[in-house]
Amino acid sequence: MAESLSAPSVDGIEAWITTPDGRLYVRQWGGPVDDAAKPPIVLLHDSLGCVALWRDFPQRLAQSTGHAVIAYDRLGFGQSDAYPGQLDPSFIQQEAYGGFAALTDQLGVDRFIVFGHSVGGGMAVSIAAAYPGRCAGLITESAQAFVEEQTRQGIRIAQAQFAEPGQMGRLERYHGSKAQWVLDAWVNAWLSPAFAQWCVDDALLAVRSPVLALHGTEDEYGSTAQPERIVTLAGAPATLKLVQRCGHVPHREQEAAVLDAINVFLSASA
């Protein structure tokens, strides 16, 4: 069961979810999570991310849409417990049956809209495919749909930057003693030969909810072939929204455009 939520604040309310491998940190903004007309939006963070790195976007998303918003630190990230070992090559697909399943079960979430950033977008696709009767909408942002050399090169550049003196402190601020694991998990997974053929094609074909694929035109970790693949293969109506003059983090770089696109999507999907 989820531990008791803390008192509401401008930063949302907090909870802890239990899993066989450790506890997950959760934060919620907005109204009830059982509103049938406005199912909660569940956020999945990127490869180096966590709840805190969404900053004030979840609160703004809840205020703008009227939907509850839930974000959680995946196992090994942020305030959640350490991950036991190394990531399996199927870690993206597994999230649907691991942390996400525990969260929705223990918070009493039936229907949901899933929103994933970067690798979280691939996880969001897998979740929508795994729960077609419960997923009311799928939003991907800067998602990877397949392994692209542009993604791998961006990771190599970031790896070199983090090797410079003092740079690991940027990760330690959010992940504490887990920071090195977080970086290694990202680099080792995506640069592994065993991961080279990964894609979400099969999961996309199984998606039955409306899809919005957001992508910055200047994304350093993936070309527009990524969202184009998502909208082409999705097994439901899908919309591509290219965010102009924007890199890999549209919700931070072009927040107003992202919120506007999400509101239009939700209105059309209602």
State residue 8's pLDDT score: 35
Asked if residue 1 has pLDDT above 80, the reply is: no
Asked if residue 269 has pLDDT above 90, the reply is: no
Positions of E strands within 166-219: 211-216
* Residue with the two structure tokens 């939907």: 67
Strands 22-29 and 69-72: antiparallel
Residues in the chain: 270
Mean pLDDT of the chain: 94
- Cα-Cα-Cα-Cα dihedral sign, residues 154, 159, 160, 164: positive
| pLDDT one-digit tens code per residue, 190-235 | 999 999 999 999 999 999 999 999 999 999 999 999 999 999 999 9
Asked if residue 129 has pLDDT above 70, the reply is: yes
CB atoms within 10 A of CB 229: 20
State residue 224's pLDDT score: 98
Report the alpha-carbon distance of residue 34 to residue 15 in Å, rounded.
16
Long-range contacts of 93-101 (CB under 8 A, 24+ apart): 93/126, 93/203, 95/44, 95/123, 95/126, 95/127, 96/123, 96/126, 96/127, 96/129, 96/130, 96/131, 97/130, 98/19, 99/17, 99/19, 99/24, 99/72, 99/74, 99/75, 100/42, 100/44, 100/127
State residue 17's pLDDT score: 97
Residue 155 region by backbone torsions, left for phi larger than 0, else alpha for psi between -120 and 50, else beta: alpha
Task: Give SS3 for 141.
Answer: strand
| pLDDT one-digit tens code per residue, 18-39 | 999 999 999 999 988 888 889 9
Report the alpha-carbon distance of residue 61 to residue 57 in Å, rounded.
6
Asked if residue 69 has pLDDT above 60, the reply is: yes
State residue 12's pLDDT score: 79
Asked if residue 2 has pLDDT above 70, the reply is: no
Average pLDDT over residues 165-179: 95
Confidence of residue 270 (pLDDT cuts 50, 70, 90): confident
Q: Which domains does the chain have, with CATH numbers?
A: 13-147+198-269 (3.40.50.1820)
